[in-house]
Amino acid sequence: MEVLLDDVPAWLWQRFHDHAARFEVPQAFAPVVERWQRAHTLGAAADGAVPDDHLLRGASLREHTERAGLIAAAATRTLDETQAFLAERGYLLLLADPDGVVVSTRGGGAFADEARRLRLIEGACWSEAARGTNAIGTALAEARPTAVKGHAHYGRRFQNLVCYAAPVHGPDGRALGVLDATSTLDRVDDVVGFTVTAAARALEDALRQGAYASAGAAVARALTQAFERVRGPVLLIEPPGRIARANAAAHDVLGGVPVGARAQAVLGLGFQPLLAEALAPAAQGVELTVRDHAGRVRPWRAFVDPIATVDGSVIALVVYLEDRPTRAAARALAAPVDDPFAALFSADPAVDRSLAFARTMAASTVPVMILAETGAGKELVASAIHRASPRKDGPFVAVNCGAIAPGLLESELFGYAPGAFSGAERSGRSGYLAEASGGTLFLDEVAEMPAAMQAALLRVLENGTYRRVGEARAAHADVRIVTATCRDLPTLVADGRFRQDLYYRLKGATVVLPALRARGDRVALAEHLVAQLAARQGRAVPPRIDRDLAAWIEAHAWPGNVRELKTVLDVALVIAAGAPTLTCAHLPPDVAAPAPAPARLEDVEAATLRQALAAAAGNVSAVAQRLGVARSTVYRMMRRAGLRAADDPDA
């Protein structure tokens, strides 16, 4: 844990409360006493007592529950799995809002009755002002994972407890709440703290992914262009200053940028100065001096673009570095590929036929419908159709109809007039149709489109006209529409759940992509993906896939298709840590095991560690920072899990 307030002698607590203002602190106990002093200043009661009439109920509690509701909604599975792990060990799992008010409790096992007696219940406030030094309140106060054990608690009645907590931040960096595990002191187990921190990070990742998904197709397209087509160095930085992604040019210039590295350490600027630059009305870029891979200090100018959700919250910054004065040069697009379909790997006859047909249809104006399971590459094919069409110089706008609430789909697709509804932007907003003008609009999961939208889309296909929400004046859409779905549309049409006339207008040319389990090139595709992923990590020679792993790839069902295969291989490369051969031992635990087994403590630790290493691209410092533990602790855990770290001092 980043903040570890270990058990201290009982006499220390008594002496502090007897002489709080004039207490000479022994150096070994300074971290604990420092936080006690803060609790004392806030007015917390020494015995930890809070009157029962301070317990929130009814409407007052619902207000706090809604504030932390995003966390519970983001990853129910994560909370359920964490609860199951903790309950076996006699721990209660609590979720509190940013004020420290407990909004939900889970499990507890043998500790449940004691927890209720101590008011570890919904509606109780565990801020430092209310309860003094405790894991929930201190984690919120310091915005860091925190452990408080035994007599380190400020309130006397809590000194038989051990508590591990980690704050959960939203995509914009603001605290949404805190996750806490509490039990009696005789159950001290630092792996519990490790698990709570990992669960909090998983919740943050789920919230971040949801924010990116809700930001819309324009954001996705901008990120794709930035990281795949810009020649100069590009970084994606998320609050509170974490580098989440870097393109190949940034790795070349900076000598490798580990995921999770701090912008302050790499660029000399933190998130807030970069955000100020992004939001400046007349941004001119900011001067930086950055040390390159050879240790030389080079001058750069950084230009910053914000990535914001529909409510205006900035969830990330795209930072472009240029060593020339023109911003346009830093964003110059790479030379176009002669055949956009050449980038789509296939050594399977059925896939080859589908791609050849899609290439033929690309030059026409015929609508194209792509039928494939989730993760099979529908958007990649749609993008290739666009880039091979006469509209290639226009925009390609991708919209996942299943990811947008039915009530919002019309305003997202068509846009809306000023003041069209409560909360609308004052100037109104153009929709995806206008955004795709002159180019291609890709409607993924079109079968999820509600009936009213189906009728409106049919009008667009018939005469090219549409109306923004709240506006009487008709607008014209100059777009080519490509659609995709994983659903059985003829059955939906027969059941009356999808308009027959719209189906035949969209159907046009049908491109069918086989599921990965039906492809005969699974191992060849895996080798192709390994080469791509290894190149991104700066490896000149990719590892080979051994015979057993190849057999596993052939036998696995691949419900997530190519997307799942790529993710599995990406994690395997991290676990392999530079090994020349990928084996079944490098598979992620969740896919390698044929069936879940009762969780052992060491297995949970190893699985959590592997997930953290995967998220941090194998960087031990980033893992330590992410999980709130020391580097030496990560090395010990890696040795216990049989994982090798090249820089392990005790290896």
Give yes or no: residues 70 and 107 share one domain: yes
pLDDT at 331: 37
Please give the residue range of the domain that contains residue 241: 217-330
Contacts of 180 (CB under 8 A, 6+ apart): 93, 94, 95, 96, 126, 135, 136, 139, 163, 164, 165, 166, 196
Give yes or no: residues 177 and 35 share one domain: yes
Give yes or no: residues 600 and 547 share one domain: yes
Structural domain contains residue 528: yes
Tokens of 434: 């206008």
- Omega before 594 cis (within 30°)? no
pLDDT at 254: 77
Helix, strand, or coil (residue 179): strand
Q: Which of 163, 195, 213 is the last residue of a domain?
A: 213
Structural domain contains residue 475: yes
Contacts of 12 (CB under 8 A, 6+ apart): 26, 29, 32, 33, 151
Residue from 398, 407, 380, 497 nearest 447 by CA: 497
Q: What is the CATH number of the domain that holds 452?
A: 3.40.50.300
Give yes or no: residues 366 and 510 share one domain: yes
Number of CB atoms found within 10 A of residue 77's CB: 9
Q: What is the CATH number of the domain that holds 592?
A: 1.10.8.60
Structural domain contains residue 647: no
Q: Which of 330, 351, 372 is the last residue of a domain?
A: 330
Give yes or no: residues 400 and 490 share one domain: yes
Give yes or no: residues 480 and 568 share one domain: no
- In angstroms, the CA 433 to CA 447 distance is 18
pLDDT at 651: 60
What's the Rg (C-alpha) of the chain? Answer: 27
In 19-149, which residue ranges form alpha helices assigned H by DSSP? 30-42, 58-67, 69-74, 76-87, 112-117, 128-131, 135-142
SS3 content of the chain, % helix, strand, coil (to 5): 45, 20, 35
Structural domain contains residue 203: yes
Tokens of 513: 């992509």
- In angstroms, the CA 324 to CA 317 distance is 21
Structural domain contains residue 583: yes
Give yes or no: residues 322 and 382 share one domain: no
- In angstroms, the CA 43 to CA 384 distance is 64
- In angstroms, the CA 326 to CA 303 distance is 10
Domain count of the chain? 4
pLDDT digits (tens, 9 = 90+) for 187-213: 999 889 989 998 888 888 888 877 777
Residues of the chain with pLDDT under 50: 324-337, 593-599, 601
Give yes or no: residues 316 and 301 share one domain: yes
Give yes or no: residues 175 and 37 share one domain: yes
Structural domain contains residue 435: yes
Residue from 631, 640, 638 nearest 577 by CA: 638
**Residue carrying the six token digits 């609508």:** 367
What does DSSP say about strands 474-476 and 465-467: parallel, antiparallel, or unpaired?
A: antiparallel
Give yes or no: residues 501 and 564 share one domain: no
Tokens of 484: 């995709």
pLDDT at 595: 36
DSSP letter for 101, please: B
Q: What is the CATH number of the domain that holds 70?
A: 3.30.450.40
Give yes or no: residues 194 and 61 share one domain: yes
Tokens of 356: 């050849």
pLDDT digits (tens, 9 = 90+) for 215-242: 666 566 667 767 766 778 888 899 888 8
Residue from 124, 128, 153 nearest 64 by CA: 124
Q: What is the CATH number of the domain that holds 303?
A: 3.30.450.20
Residue from 13, 189, 7, 11 nearest 85 by CA: 189
Q: Which of 514, 545, 571 is the last residue of a domain?
A: 514
pLDDT at 20: 58
Tokens of 183: 């039990």
Structural domain contains residue 247: yes
pLDDT at 594: 43
- In angstroms, the CA 53 to CA 240 distance is 37
Find out whether 443 and 456 touch, Cβ atoms under 8 Å: no
Give yes or no: residues 307 and 224 share one domain: yes
Structural domain contains residue 646: no
